[in-house]
Amino acid sequence: MEKIAEKVKEFVKKECEKPEACYKGAYEEHFIPVVKYSLELAEKENADKEIVEIAAWIHDIGSIKGDPREHHILSSKIAEDLLKSLNYPQDKIEQVKYCILSHRASKNIKRETKEAQILADADTISHFDNVEGILKRVFKNDKARTLAKLERGYNKLSDDEKTLVKDKLEKARQELR
């Protein structure tokens, strides 16, 4: 039987390739790095890798489908529907949904599980790898808003993960001022 995470990955890839997808290049530029960082952090933190990987694959699908402002809510709903259709256990669906719902740095949602914090950290870390893409695609060359997003994300990172991006934040501060 094919692994659930592989089925979720294929679903996300297909959604990203649709002509109506709102963020061209998201699969390679965002989803793949977030999954990579999520799995690395899950290993380091001894977290549930399956939950983390599934949540990482689908966490921003709501943005791809056209709802960037409330994408965490839409992504959570899409995850639930998809995972139910794959006969994934309901208790695990709830864990995935919680990770997705709490991953946004712009929302003041407490992350009460390792897996939720890992997804949020991995998502933020990936932003520092694609500052130019965020500046152009998300904020239409608004440097102040781009820097504010990076600062918000950095401030909500786990202390250990802040060390991974501190130099990248300093570089972004210099480039975006």
Map tokens 């639930």 to a residue: 80
If you average pLDDT over every residue of the chain, what do you get? 92
Residue pair 86/7 in contact (Cβ under 8 Å)? The answer is yes
Q: End-to-end CA distance of the chain, in Å?
A: 51
Give yes or no for residue 2 having a pLDDT over 80: no
How far apart CA 72 and CA 69 sit, in angstroms, is 8
pLDDT at 71: 87
Bin 46: left if φ > 0, else alpha if -120 < ψ < 50, else beta.
Answer: left
Task: Give mean pLDDT, residues 17-25.
Answer: 89
Q: Which domains does the chain have, with CATH numbers?
A: 4-176 (1.10.3210.10)
Q: What confidence tier does 107 reach under pLDDT thresholds 50, 70, 90?
A: low
pTM of the model: 0.92
- What's the confidence (pLDDT) of residue 1? 36
pLDDT of residue 23: 82
| Long-range CB contact pairs, 42-48, < 8 A, 24+ | 42/114, 42/115, 42/118, 45/114, 45/118, 46/114, 47/114, 47/115, 47/118, 48/95, 48/114, 48/115
Q: Quick check: 39 pLDDT over 90? A: yes
Written as six digits, the tokens of 59 are: 């966490």
